[in-house]
A and B are shown apart, each in its own frame.
Chain A
Amino acid sequence: MYCIIEKKVLAPTITKYLIEAPYVARKRKAGNFVIIRVDETGERIPLTLVDSNTDTGTITLIVQALGKTTKALALKNEGDFILDVMGPLGNPTPIESGKTIACIGGGVGTAELYPITKALKDAGNTIYTIVGARSKELVILEKEMEQVSDKFYITTDDGSYKRKGFVTDQLKELLDANLGINMVYAIGPLPMMRAVSNLTKPYNVRTLVSLNAVMVDGTGMCGGCRVTVNGKMKFACVDGPEFEGHEVDFDEMLLRNHSYTDMEKISIDRFLEEPHVCRREGMAS
Chain B
Amino acid sequence: MITVNKMKPSERMKIPRQVSIEQKPDERSHNFKEVSFGVDEERALIEAARCLECQNPVCREGCPVNIDIRSFIQLVYQKDFSGAVNKIRESNYLPAICGRVCPQEEQCEQVCTLGKKHEPVAIGKLERFVADYELKNNLFTPPSIQEKRPEKVAIVGSGPSGLTCAAELAKLGYQVTIFEALHAVGGVLRYGIPEFRLPRTILDLEAERIKALGVKIETNFLVGRTETIDEFFKEWGFSAIFLGTGAGTPQFMDIPGENLNGVYSANEFLTRVNLMKAYKFPEYDTPIKIGKSVAVIGGGNTAMDGVRTSKRLGAEHAYLIYRRSRTEMPARLEEVHHAEEEGIEFMMLTNPTRIIGDTNGRVSGIECQKMELGEPDESGRRKPVPSNETKFIIEVQTVIEAVGQSPNPIIQSTTPGLKTGRKGVVIADELQRTSRDGVFAGGDLSRGGATVILAMHDGKIAAENIHKYLQQKAH
Contact = CB atoms under 8 A, between A and B. Distances in A.
B425 to A, nearest CB: 15
Interface stretch (A108-116, A182-190, A259-267): A259-267
B250 A259 contact: no
B391 interface: no
Contacts of A266: 282
Contacts of A42: 285
Interface stretch (B50-58, B258-266, B296-304, B326-334): B258-266
A283 B167 CA distance: 51
Nearest to A39: B285
Nearest to A238: B410
B259 A27 contact: no
Interface in A66-113: 68-69, 83-89
B410 A86 contact: no
B282 A89 contact: no
B258 A233 contact: yes
B285 A222 contact: no
Contacts of B408: 219-221
A27 B181 CA distance: 15
B222 interface: yes
B267 A221 contact: yes
A252 interface: yes
Contacts of A89: 222, 225
Grouping DSSP codes into helix (H, G, I), strand (E, B) and loop, the B interface class, with mixed when no group exceeds half, is loop
B143 interface: no
Interface in A224-253: 224, 226-228, 233, 238, 252
A267 B268 CA distance: 20
A258 B261 CA distance: 9
A256 interface: yes
Given A43-B276, A87-B226, A255-B361, A216 B282 contact: no
Contacts of A224: 264-265, 268
Interface in A159-175: none
Given A86-B181, A223-B250, A267-B285, 15 more contacts: A41-B285, A43-B276, A43-B285, A86-B220, A86-B222, A219-B410, A220-B248, A221-B250, A221-B267, A221-B271, A222-B267, A226-B258, A226-B259, A233-B258, A263-B281
Q: Give the interface residue-count category, chain B.
A: 35 or more
Interface residues of A, number: 41
Closest 10 CB pairs of A and B: A255-B361, A222-B268, A263-B287, A43-B285, A86-B220, A221-B248, A223-B265, A84-B183, A259-B261, A260-B287
A217 interface: yes
B259 A84 contact: no
Contacts of B360: 255
Nearest to B270: A222
B94 to A, nearest CB: 22
Given A83-B183, A88-B226, A233 B248 contact: no
Given A69-B285, A86-B222, A267-B285, A223 B252 contact: yes
Nearest to B182: A217
B183 A37 contact: yes
Contacts of A256: 259, 261, 361
Contacts of A263: 281-282, 287, 289
A203 interface: no
19 contacts: A37-B183, A43-B276, A44-B286, A86-B221, A87-B222, A87-B226, A219-B222, A220-B408, A221-B248, A221-B249, A223-B252, A224-B265, A233-B254, A255-B360, A260-B287, A263-B281, A263-B287, A264-B287, A267-B281
